[in-house]
Amino acid sequence: MPSSNLKISGLSKRYGDFVALAPTDLDVAQGEFLTLLGPSGSGKTTLLSLIAGLAQPDQGQMLINDVDVTYVAPYERDIGVVFQNYALFPHMTVEENIAFPLKMRNIAPEQARKQAQEALELVRLPQLGKRFPKELSGGQQQRIALARCMVYRPSIILMDEPLGALDKKLRDHMQLEIKRIHRELGTTIVYVTHDQEEAMTMSDRICLMNGGRIEQLGTPAELYFNPRTLFVADFLGESNLFEATVSSVGPDTIGVMLDQGRVPAKTAADGRPLSVGQKVRVMVRPQNLQLSRTPSQDMPGLSATVIDVMITGSLTKLYLNAGFAGETPITVALPTSRQADAWRVGDTLSLHWQAADAVAIAE
Partner 1 sequence: MVSIANPSSRAARRTTFRNVLLGAPLVVLLLSLLVYPVAQLLLLSVQKGGEFSMASYVQLFSSSVYLNVLLITLKIAFWTTLFAVIAGYPVAYLISSWPQQKKGGLLFWVLLSFWSSFLVRAFAWIVLLGRNGVVNQLLVALGIVDAPITMLYTFGSTMVGMVHALMPLAILTMLSVMENIDRSLPRAALTLGARPGSAFWRVYFPLSMPGVAAASIMVFVTSIGFFIFPALLGGRRETMIAQIIIVQVEQTLNWGFAGAISVFLLIVVGAVFAVYDRVLGLSSITGTVADDRGPRARNRWAVAFSEGVLNVLAKTSDWLASLLPKRRRSRREPGQSRGLLMIVLTILAFLSLPTVLMIPLSFAGSSGLNWPPRGFSLQWYQQVLESPLWMQALTRSLIVGIGSGLLAMFIGTPAAFLLVRAKMRGKSLMLAFVLSPIIVPRMIIAVGMFYMFSRVGLAGTTLGLTLGHTVIAVPYVVMTMMAVLRNYDTRLDLAAQSLGARPTQVLRHVTFPILIAGLLSSFLFAFATSFDELTISLFASGGLNATLPKQFWDEVNLQISPVIAAVSTCLFVFVAVLIWTADRLRRRSAAQ
In the complex, which residues of this chain contact partner 1 (CB under 8 A)? 52-56, 71, 73-75, 77, 79-81, 83-85, 87, 89-91, 100-101, 104-105, 132-135, 148-149, 152
Cite the beta strand spans of 83-163 per DSSP E: 156-160
CB of 74 to partner 1, least distance (A): 4
Residue number, 5 or 331, with CB nearest to partner 1 = 5
Residue number, 152 or 319, with CB nearest to partner 1 = 152
CB of 144 to partner 1, least distance (A): 12
**Considering Cα of 282, then 287, then 288, then 290, what sign does the dihedral take?**
positive
Residue number, 85 or 137, with CB nearest to partner 1 = 85
Report the distance separating Cα 149 and Cα 299, nearest Å. 56
Of 246, 242, 219, 230, the C-alpha closest to 288 is 242
CA 253 to chain centre: 28
Residue number, 89 or 324, with CB nearest to partner 1 = 89
Residue number, 162 or 286, with CB nearest to partner 1 = 162
Residues in the chain, total: 363
CB of 184 to partner 1, least distance (A): 21
CB of 102 to partner 1, least distance (A): 9
Q: How far is CA 277 from CA 230, 256, 260, 269, 351, in A?
A: 19, 9, 16, 15, 24
Residue number, 92 or 362, with CB nearest to partner 1 = 92
CB of 311 to partner 1, least distance (A): 34
Residue number, 157 or 207, with CB nearest to partner 1 = 157
Report the distance separating Cα 82 and Cα 143, nearest Å. 10
Exposure on the CB side of residue 347, measured as CA atoms within 13 A: 18
Q: How far is CA 282 from CA 254, 256, 261, 267, in A?
A: 11, 8, 14, 8
CB of 87 to partner 1, least distance (A): 4
CB-count burial class (<10 Å; 0-12, 13-18, 19+) for 170: middle
CB of 36 to partner 1, least distance (A): 17
Report the distance separating Cα 199 and Cα 261, nearest Å. 37
CB-count burial class (<10 Å; 0-12, 13-18, 19+) for 172: middle
